[in-house]
Structure 1
Amino acid sequence: MVVAYFLLPLDHLGPRRPVLSWVLFALALTVVAVLLLRQIRHVFTNRPDSRPGAVLSLLIVLTVHIFSATYYALAKHEGEFVGLSTRVDALYFTIVTLATVGYGDITPSGQAARIVTVLQITYSFVFLTAAATALAQRLRDMVVRRTERDRRG
């Protein structure tokens, strides 16, 4: 995923094709949200044939890359960001925002950049927190089952 992020032709998005950029962003977030919710449901319904640990982890990483790509494309618009000019900057800003650290070296100064940043915070709070909770629940269930099996055998 990281390699794809650095190789995708993101320079063709942003100011050159704003409608396509926003549609791709919305579509990607919607698809990931649906897949996250599906995996979360599998955890809470104890579906034995699912592999939510791997899938949820990959979807979380994909979410980070979607926001990073969006920030990188937005930074091509004059006045949207201060301090963000490379893909590494965008990835860094996404992770700093996700971790709620906020060093202040990169700041969203335009309205679109601020909206996407608020959306990332909200999306992370709702979907990624639910995914982390589901992963923790799955791990707890596995430990309980293993402990019960060890007691019997």
Structure 2
Amino acid sequence: MTGAAGLPRVNGSPRSPGPLPGSGRTGQVAAAVLLVAVAVAGYFLLPLHRLGPERPVLSWSLFCTTLGMIGALILRQIREVLLDRPGTRPGILLPLLVCVSVLVFAGAYYVLARRPGEITGIRTRLDALYFTLVTLATIGYGDITPQGQSARGVTVVQILYNFVFLTAAATALSRRVRRAVETRHGSREDS
């Protein structure tokens, strides 16, 4: 007897055919590392020079839309963690989304640095990534400073974004890890 998806039924419910080859934890971590590498490569290869002062509407629309989509995906993953849905892998997707959000801010700073008077000290994409990570870590060495209103606005948005989305993501992940450790620890004591 088969279910709606054509899978065999066991005790009245469809049975999954089992895990896909290479879909274990090692495969998932490898996939996540590969996706982060692709995202970082994309950051360094995308034609960001086509954005900026010459196309302000496109630049701001792309920045806001991308951050909004990443924020929505982060919130969805946080919800999955809080609801403790089986089969979800937020430990893979949440760090990837955090990485992509960092790269979006770095791209915005790089594009803003092309406008005179906006940001001093950013000459390369690596400079922009460095400034983004320094802002994320709330270190602030002072070697790169946002001076223009747009640059300061993006910096304020990054700080708020970090506070709301990234803190919530880190909290949800730590909660998930704690539950997994407690479950694993409890099952070892039962054996």
Which TM-score tier does this pair reach, normalised by the shorter chain?
Answer: over 0.9
Name the aligned partner's letter for residue 133 of structure 1.
T
Match of 2:122 in 1: 84
Match of 1:36 in 2: 74
Tell me the matched-pair count: 153
Structure 1 residue runs of 5 or longer lacking an equivalent are none
Find 1:102's aligned residue among 140, 150, 153.
140
Residues 66-102 of structure 1: per-residue CA shift (max 9 Å, x gap):
0000000111111101111110010000000000000
More contact order relative to length (CA 8 Å, sep ≥ 6): 1
Higher percent of residues as helix: 1
- Rounded to whole Å, the distance in 2 between the matches of 1:128 and 1:40 is 10
- Rounded to whole Å, the distance in 2 between the matches of 1:50 and 1:4 is 26
Find 2:112's aligned residue among 48, 71, 74.
74
Find 1:117's aligned residue among 155, 164, 173.
155
What is the identity percentage for the equivalent residue pairs of Structure 1 and Structure 2? 58
Deviates most, 94-103 or 76-85: 76-85
- Rounded to whole Å, the distance in 1 between the matches of 2:165 and 2:188 is 35
Q: How much has 1:16 moved relative to structure 2?
A: 1.4
Runs of 4+ aligned structure 1 residues displaced above 4 Å come to: none
- Rounded to whole Å, the distance in 2 between the matches of 1:47 and 1:75 is 43
SS state of the match for residue 16, structure 1? coil
Name the aligned partner's letter for residue 59 of structure 1.
L
Structure 2 residue runs of 5 or longer lacking an equivalent are 1-38
- Which of the two has higher C-alpha Rg? 2
Name the aligned partner's letter for residue 119 of structure 2.
F
TM-score calculated relative to the size of structure 2: 0.79
